[in-house]
Amino acid sequence: MHKILLICDTTACSAANVELGDIHDEASVTVIAPDEAAVQPAHSSYDQIIIDMNLSDAQIQSVISAMRSAGVSIPIIIYPTGKKCWTAVPSTQGRPENAAGDCSRHKREHSGCGAMVISGEASIAGAACIYPHFFDDIDSGIIISTREGVCVYSNNTIQMLIGGSIVQRHIKELFGDYFPEEYKSGDGIQFDTVLRHAGIGRDIPVHVEAVPIAEKCPLGWYILVTGLENFSEFFETVEESAHQLMPPEFPETLMDRLAHEVRTPAALIKESIELIAEQYLGDINAMQKQYLDVAQKNIGRLVTAVNLMLEHTSANSVIAKLDVQDCNIHDILHSIVVTLNQLYPYLAGSIHLHHSAEVVVKTDQAKLAYILYTLMDMLVSGQAGAESVDVSVRSLDAHALIIIHTRYCGGDVLHADSNYPDALEICKVLLWLLKGSLTVDSEPNRPDGCLKIILPLEYETQIWRNET
Amino acid sequence: MSSTQKKQVLIVEDEQDLLTILQIRLSRDNYEVFTAPDGQAGLELAQTIKPDVVVLDIMMPGKDGFSLLRDLKGNEETCHIPVIVVTARDRIEEPCALEGAERFLVKPYEYSVLQESIRELTAGV
């Protein structure tokens, strides 16, 4: 049986234990506190040592130092256990930035002991645990995995397991078009290239050996980078590239939040002032009335200012003029699947769209397409960490049944608890878009890993499309 | 219903102070006011008392206003109850209308507008 020693604080223990138990079907997980691990570091009877990334930098460093000093050569994985790495945030907000923050922090803190960080994705972190054989020098290196990738630094070589969409994209940018859009497992490629470090403007020559990985479904790339003179510059380059690719927070989202935060207290002040001014709470004199009027006027000014800001933001966010046209769900899904295939070439062949009935929906097509896209984007590249998505549509008497089947490299169980609620949140939005005529199979732990969305067939056509 | 019987208003709002102020003002306007601090309590109260109108906030902990609105309009026994959405959020008028809300007011609103909306929506009751 695979024996894992998990070092984490008590609050993360139970969640982490469950996750790791799920990852390793036949693993035995022992959980100890960081203080205990630092005092008694010789744990040679374990196959893996996993340190919770949520511990403080000082705690992590203390444990690693103690283990290295004691000559422990067991692979050490710094792993984002608990819910921190896949907190239910059904959008791009927060997550990549957090991941990048983790990266910088750990790179900075652990550069002295040979550890490097690449921002990562939970699925790949899980994959590192499941497929440790990808890392040849795992027994002497330190793995740090976050949300989009995992890498091992040892013997002056960087080994990376890359599968998350963001890393996939920025690695592709870094390495140009070396990676073919379609590949078969085992087809390796080698090339020399030059990375440009934007911060110092220096070129970094590297030799890259890359092998695609497919365990039942495309998993990502195993990449060996050698010939690096300065590893930290390499990772800074990768991180900078990742930052540039991160989508900015939509200004309207920020303003929407701000509007709520300002309007609610403004409403309270306004209502309170009016209650006093109406003399419901007792008589007020002329002078008091005068100053209540001043307060009322200025609350009005404040609210007007917020409304103007919102209007301005809203006006700036309009990109295209839309017109009402007929459309059907198949068109929408088809365009989504095409887009997904373009965005995620490593998923080529794993996204299918079956169509057996024309389904017309009454909603804003742009919204529906966006939401479905977001849903799938989330499933593919976001919190859910799915490595492939099957989309199929088929008629079901009066309804169309859309089945979005996700596959995770770590197995469905790995993400079932934390990810289906995300997807269901999006479906709730779909629900109100379709005015309650849509039902969602909300069973969170479906054995077949399917999320089923049932769209009504008989809807009047009232769809928004780009005028062009 | 007797013409002397007070019209019933259910306010669902998580801001306790706003809830209290609105309760005071509507009571003074001769409405029988019921209050709920969240969507779940609001739903239970609405199903029990079947108020003449619901004044509903959207952003609430637990069951939010959207969810409550959907439940009210999706239930045969409560779908006839008019709902006035009052919210500080922006750009949700359309989804609220799609869900079946009869009126939509952005906080801070003029109380007279709320008064008029309630009067109109309860006129035929």
The per-residue pLDDT for B34 is: 96
- Residue A143: name the closest of A164, A163, A118 by CA: A118
Collapsing DSSP states into helix, strand and coil, what is residue B86?
strand
Cβ proximity of A224 and A210 under 8 Å? yes
Considering only CB atoms, which chain A residues are within 8 Å of B105?
A: none
Residue A294 CA to residue A304 CA, distance in Å, equals: 15
The DSSP string of B21-84 is HHHHHHHHTT-EEEEESSHHHHHHHHHHH--SEEEE-S--SSS-HHHHHHHHHTSTTTTTS-EE
The per-residue pLDDT for A43 is: 60
Contact call for A271 and B108, based on CB within 8 A:
yes
Amino acid at A434: L
- Residue B86: name the closest of B45, B62, B52, B57 by CA: B57
- Judged by a CB distance cut-off of 8 A, whether residue B76 touches chain A is no
Every domain of chain B and the residues it spans:
8-119
Interface subset of A 302-341, CB within 8 angstroms of B: 303, 310, 314
Q: How far is CA A240 from CA A183, A196, A199, A339, in A?
A: 28, 11, 9, 25
Lowest mean pLDDT among A188-197, B82-91, B106-115: A188-197
The whole-angstrom distance between A397's CA and the closest CA on chain B is: 22
- Residue A151: name the closest of A239, A244, A20 by CA: A239
**Shortest CA distance from A430: residue in chain B:** B95
End-to-end CA distance of chain B: 8
Q: Which residues pair with A196 in a beta bridge?
A: A203
**A396-407 residues labelled b (16+ CB within 10 A) or e (exposed):** eeebbbbbbbbb
The per-residue pLDDT for A38 is: 65
* B8-119 CATH: 3.40.50.2300
Residue B26 CA to residue B33 CA, distance in Å, equals: 7
The residues, any chain, with a CB within 8 Å of residue A312's CB and separated by 6 or more, are none
Which of B74, B100, B108 is the closest to A267 by Cβ?
Answer: B108
Contact call for B108 and A299, based on CB within 8 A:
yes
Q: For A134, which DSSP code?
A: G
Residue A367 CA to residue A396 CA, distance in Å, equals: 24
The per-residue pLDDT for A308 is: 72
* Best A432, A433, A462, A464 residue to mutate vs chain B (most B CBs within 10 Å): A432
Residue B80 CA to residue A395 CA, distance in Å, equals: 33
Longest dimension (CA), chain A: 87
The residues, any chain, with a CB within 8 Å of residue A47's CB and separated by 6 or more, are A2, A3, A4, A74, A75
Considering only CB atoms, which chain B residues are within 8 Å of A264?
A: 15, 18, 88, 107
Amino acid at A288: Q
**Shortest CA distance from A266: residue in chain B:** B108
The per-residue pLDDT for B70 is: 86
**What token pair was written down for A448?**
């077949």
The per-residue pLDDT for A64 is: 67
Q: For A278, which DSSP code?
A: T
The per-residue pLDDT for A250 is: 46
The per-residue pLDDT for A50 is: 67
CA angle A162, A166, A169 (to 5 degrees): 80
The whole-angstrom distance between A250's CA and the closest CA on chain B is: 14
Contact call for A431 and B73, based on CB within 8 A:
no
Which of B24, B74, B88 is the closest to A259 by Cβ?
Answer: B88
Residue A50 CA to residue A207 CA, distance in Å, equals: 30
Cβ proximity of B95 and B66 under 8 Å? yes
Residue A44 CA to residue A47 CA, distance in Å, equals: 8
End-to-end CA distance of chain A: 61
Amino acid at A249: E
Considering only CB atoms, which chain B residues are within 8 Å of A280?
A: 24-25, 28
- Residue A121: name the closest of A75, A170, A155, A158 by CA: A170
What does chain A come to in residues?
468
Angle, helix A412-433 to helix A10-23, in steps of 10 degrees: 100
- Judged by a CB distance cut-off of 8 A, whether residue B25 touches chain A is yes
The per-residue pLDDT for B117 is: 92
Contact call for A263 and B28, based on CB within 8 A:
no
Q: How far is CA A298 from the centre of its chain?
A: 42
Which of B22, B28, B89 is the closest to A260 by Cβ?
Answer: B89
Residue B109 CA to residue B17 CA, distance in Å, equals: 16
Contact call for A256 and B91, based on CB within 8 A:
yes
CA angle A210, A186, A205 (to 5 degrees): 10
- Radius of gyration for chain B, computed over Cα atoms and rounded to the nearest angstrom: 13
Considering only CB atoms, which chain B residues are within 8 Å of A432?
A: 66, 70, 95, 98-99
Q: How far is CA A360 from the centre of its chain?
A: 31
Collapsing DSSP states into helix, strand and coil, what is residue A8?
coil
Residue A328 CA to residue A299 CA, distance in Å, equals: 47
**What token pair was written down for A421?**
């609620």
Considering only CB atoms, which chain A residues are within 8 Å of B89?
A: 256, 259-260
In tens digits, what is the pLDDT along chain A, a chain of 468 residues?
556 677 776 554 444 444 444 334 445 666 777 777 766 655 666 766 666 655 665 676 677 667 766 666 555 655 544 322 222 111 222 232 333 333 333 333 332 222 222 323 333 333 333 333 334 333 334 444 333 444 544 445 555 555 544 445 555 666 666 665 555 555 667 777 777 666 667 777 777 777 665 544 444 566 667 666 665 566 566 556 545 544 444 455 566 666 777 788 888 888 898 889 888 888 889 888 888 888 888 888 787 777 777 665 554 433 323 334 444 555 555 555 555 455 444 444 444 444 333 333 334 444 444 445 445 554 444 434 444 444 444 333 333 444 444 443 333 222 222 233 334 444 444 443 343 334 444 343 333 434 444 444 333 333 333 333
Interface subset of A 252-281, CB within 8 angstroms of B: 252, 255-256, 259-260, 262-264, 266-272, 274-275, 280
**What token pair was written down for A211?**
């092998």
Collapsing DSSP states into helix, strand and coil, what is residue A194?
strand
Cβ proximity of A419 and A385 under 8 Å? yes
What does chain B come to in residues?
125
